[in-house]
Amino acid sequence: MDKVKIYYNNKFYEYPKGIKLLDVAKDFQKDFKYPILVGIVNEYSVTLDFEIREDSKVKFYDISSQKGYRAYERTAIIVLVKAVKDILNKEVKIEHSIDRGIYCTIDGLKEEDIEKISNKMKEIVYASIPIEKLSVNRLKVIEYFRKLHDDNASVFKYMTKNNVTLYKIDNMYDYIFGKICVNTSYLDNFKLEYIGNNGFVLMLPFIYDNMRVNDYTHHEKFFNSVLDYINWTDKIGIKSFVDLNLKLSEGKWNDMVFMSEASYNKSLLDIVEKIDDKIKLILIAGPSSSGKTTTANKLKLFLNGRGYKPVMLSTDDYFKERDETPLDENGNKDYESVNAIDIDLFNKQLKDLIDGKEVTIPTFNFITGKKEYKKKLQLDKDGILVIEGLHTLNDVLTESIERDKKYKIYISPLTGLNVDDHNRLNSTDSRLLRRMVRDNLKRGYNASHTLSTWDSVRAGETKYVFPYQDEADIVLNTSLIYEMAVLKVFAEPLLFSVDERDPNYSEAIRLIGILKLILPMPSEGIPLDSVLREFIGGSCFE
C-alpha cells in the first residue's frame, strides 16, 4: 500500500495514501479542547473530507481559532437555512453582526416560529447529516438557482472559473462561501432569540469569551443604526455584491459615490444639529479602521459652520512615559489599556481648558517614549474640544467633566454589503482590508504583518471598546456602499504578495476569494474628504 508522510507539530507521521484529513485529525484530537473542524494542508484551507495523496504539512483548527470559528458559523447558517425551509417553507436572510450574534430576517416571522426552527436545527444536528461538497459547472448552477427563482444565482455571473463549490445537505443545495464542517453534528451549541419585526438573532459561541453562547443583549442605538442602513440600501436598490456589480458593470460608480457620501455627510450634520452651547467635549471612539480621524476632522468643519470654535485633541499625546506603561497578563507593555494614558494629567488639562485657562498641552514623542510640552492652547467662549481615541467613551478618561457637557459618538463600519442572502461580509473583514491598505501606504507594512497582528487588535477592541458602546449618545455607521470595490484595487495586490510558505497565506487566500466576487472600481472620483481617503490616501485632512 502506498504511503504518504504527514508533517504535523514538528513531527513526521506515515499514513495510507488517500486518507481523509478527518481520519488523521482523530489521532490528534487530544491536543485540542474542542472538536477539530477544519485544517490546512500545505497552507491551503481544506475541509476534513480532503484526501491526502502526497507528502503534506498539516495544521488543524477548532472553534477557538478564527478559521475554526468561521467554519462553525457557516455550518450554523446552512443548518439554519435548511431548518427554515423544512419548517416554514421560506427563505432566511442573513443580515449582519449584532451584539455577539448574527441578525437574520424571515418575511412573516412570528415569535412562536423561533422555537420550531431551533428544535428543527437541533434535530438536524442530532442526525449528524453529512454536508457534501460538490464541484459543479458554473452555468449549470446559475440555471439551477434561476429555476428556483433564487436571486443568489446572480452572484455566479461575476465569477470566471468553470466550476464552483456547492454544499449539499440532505436534499438541499446551497452556496456557502468558505469552508464548513463535514457534517451537522459539529454544531453543538447555539441559541436563537426573537427580537421582533421579522427579525431574530443567531447566537454562537464567542471566541473572545471562553466560547460561551451569551444571551442576546439589545443595544438600541447600535441596532437602529443597522436597521437604518438596511432600509437605506433597500431604498436605493443596492443590497448586495450582485447589485453593486450590476451598477459597476453599467459604469454608474459616480452615482454610488455621491449617494453614499451624501448619506454619511447628512449623518454628521444631524449630529452637529444636536450640539448645544452646554456641550464642551465631543468624544469619538470605535474599533480599528473605523474612520475616527476623518470623522473628527469633518465634525470640526461642520461645527465651524455653526459658529463654534472646535479644537482637536488626541489621547495618544497623553500616553504615560514608556517606562511607566502598565503590563498585561503576559508581562508585556499594554499600550491598549486605558491605564497607559496619563489620566490625571488629561483630566486636569480638560478641566483647565473648559474653565478658560491657558494650558501647555503635550505631544508624545513615539521615538523617545516621552511627552514633550511645546504647544499652548486656550479655548474661547465658543470653544469645543473634539477628541478621538480608543477609550473616549470610558468615563474614567474624562471623569473631571460633568456628563451633560459631553457628547459621545461610537463609530464603526457596522454594516456593509453582503455577498448575497446567505453569505455575509463580516464588518471585521472590511476593517481589516481598510487597515491593510493604510498600513502599507502610511507605515510601509506588508499584508502579512497586518494579518499577523489582527487577532491581538480584535482582542483589544473586545476588551476596551465594545463594552462602552452603550455609553454613546449616537452610533455612526461609517460604511460606504462602494468601498469594497475600491479596496479591491488596493488590497488584492498586497494579498497576492503573501508567500505560500507564510503562515498567513491561507487567510490571504480567503480574503482574495471575497474580493474576487466583486468588480473593481477606480478611486479617482472619490471626494478628498471621504472617510475612505483615510485608508487609500489623498485625504484633504492629511
pTM for the full model? 0.88
Q: What is the DSSP string of 320-343?
A: PPGGGPPB-TTSSB-TTSGGGB-H
How much is the pLDDT for 416?
A: 72
Classify strands 56-61 and 38-41 as parallel, antiparallel or unpaired: antiparallel
How much is the pLDDT for 518?
A: 92
What type of residue sits at position 14? E
Q: Is residue 467 part of a domain?
A: yes
Q: Is residue 541 part of a domain?
A: no
The angle formed by the CA atoms of residues 493, 496 and 500, to the nearest 5 degrees, is: 165
Instruction: Output the domain CATH number for residue 53.
Output: 3.10.20.30
How much is the pLDDT for 1?
A: 65
Identify the burial level of 473 via C-beta atoms within 10 angstroms of its C-beta, where 0-12 means exposed, 13-18 middle and 19 or more buried. Answer: middle
How much is the pLDDT for 390?
A: 86
528 and 416 fall within a common domain: yes
Helical segments of 131-240, H only? 138-147, 220-236
210 and 243 fall within a common domain: no
21 and 117 fall within a common domain: no
> In this structure, what C-alpha cell is assigned to residue 63?
472553534
Q: Which of 391, 377, 417 is nearest to 469 (CA)?
A: 391
Q: What is the DSSP string of 78-105?
A: HHHHHHHHHHHS---EEEEEETTEEEEE
How much is the pLDDT for 152?
A: 64
**Total structural domains within the chain:** 3
349 and 421 fall within a common domain: yes
How much is the pLDDT for 53?
A: 94
50 and 72 fall within a common domain: no
Q: Is residue 234 part of a domain?
A: yes
329 and 251 fall within a common domain: yes
Domain boundary among 20, 41, 62: 62
209 and 230 fall within a common domain: no
pLDDT digit string, tens, across residues 413-439: 987 788 888 888 888 899 999 999 999
Instruction: Output the domain CATH number for residue 138.
Output: 3.30.980.10
Domain boundary among 201, 217, 233: 217
Q: Is 277 strand, coil or helix?
A: coil
Q: Which of 151, 250, 252, 261 is nearest to 481 (CA)?
A: 261
Q: Is residue 449 part of a domain?
A: yes
How much is the pLDDT for 151?
A: 64
pLDDT under 50 in the chain at which residues? none
DSSP type of residue 401:
S
180 and 113 fall within a common domain: yes
75 and 101 fall within a common domain: yes
Whole-angstrom distance, CA of residue 386 vs CA of residue 313:
6
Whole-angstrom distance, CA of residue 437 vs CA of residue 490:
6
How much is the pLDDT for 121?
A: 97
Scored b (16 or more CB within 10 A) or e, 304-315 reads eeeebebbbbeb
512 and 366 fall within a common domain: yes
Range of the domain at 508: 223-536
What type of residue sits at position 265? N
Q: Is residue 542 part of a domain?
A: no
How much is the pLDDT for 437?
A: 97
Evaluate whether 522 touches 489 at the Cβ level (below 8 Å). yes
How much is the pLDDT for 208?
A: 75
Classify strands 406-412 and 281-285 as parallel, antiparallel or unpaired: parallel
Domain boundary among 188, 217, 246: 217
